[in-house]
Amino acid sequence: MAIIKFTDDHEWIRVEGDIGVVGITDFAQEELGDLVFIELPAVGKHFAKGEEAAVIESVKAAAELKAPVSGTVTEVNSSVTDEPGKVNADPAGAGWFFKLRIADANELAGLLDEAAYGALVKK
């Protein structure tokens, strides 16, 4: 069973073994509005937790997606660079950004669970 964790910057990570699938939350895509451009990291790139990993631009603003945990990119979802609207339509599914091999699973403990993230966005 996959575990899903959230950051207070509105990223999510779905943990599947030692791989994390990363994207932005539904709340984040609603706040940004219609996405028009996404720049993904290169496969093989290593990120420290909290480091800028992707660039997101919408009709309203530009934002960055930060790595929720340290790791090395193993795969990117190039379909979102071709069709950024996939993120608006399905941010937790087809709109994922990249997968990374998690370097330190202990970093997951510092992330929010679904209940804590839900409380954060209700503020």
Q: What does the H/E/C string look like for 67-110?
A: CCCCEEEEEECCHHHHCCHHHHHCCCCCCCCEEEEECCHHHHHH
Which phi and psi (to 5°) does residue 79 adopt? -65, -25
Measured distance CA(56)–CA(52) in Å, rounded: 11
The whole domain housing 98 covers: 3-109
Domain with 52 in it: what CATH number?
A: 2.40.50.100
58 three-state secondary structure? strand
Supply the pLDDT for residue 1.
65
Task: Determine the Cα–Cα distance for residues 118 and 20; give it in Å rounded to an integer.
Answer: 21
Q: pTM of the full predicted structure?
A: 0.95
Task: Count each helix (H run) and each strand (E run) in the chain, helices first.
Answer: 4, 9
Tell me the C-alpha to C-alpha distance, in Å, between residue 99 and each of 11, 45, 89, 116: 13, 11, 20, 23
**Is 27 within the bounds of a domain?**
yes
Which residue shows structure tokens 């910057």?
9
Query: For residue 2, what pLDDT is reported?
Result: 79
pLDDT truncated to tens, each residue of the chain (123 aa)?
Answer: 679 999 999 999 999 999 999 999 999 999 999 999 999 999 999 999 999 999 999 999 999 999 999 999 999 999 999 999 999 999 999 999 999 999 999 999 999 999 999 999 997
**Any domain includes 50:** yes
**Residue at 76 is within a domain:** yes
Whether 35 is covered by a domain: the verdict is yes
Q: Nearest CA to 123 among 48, 27, 26, 1?
A: 27
Inside any domain, residue 47: yes
In a domain, 31, yes or no: yes
Q: Structurally, how many domains does the chain consist of?
A: 1
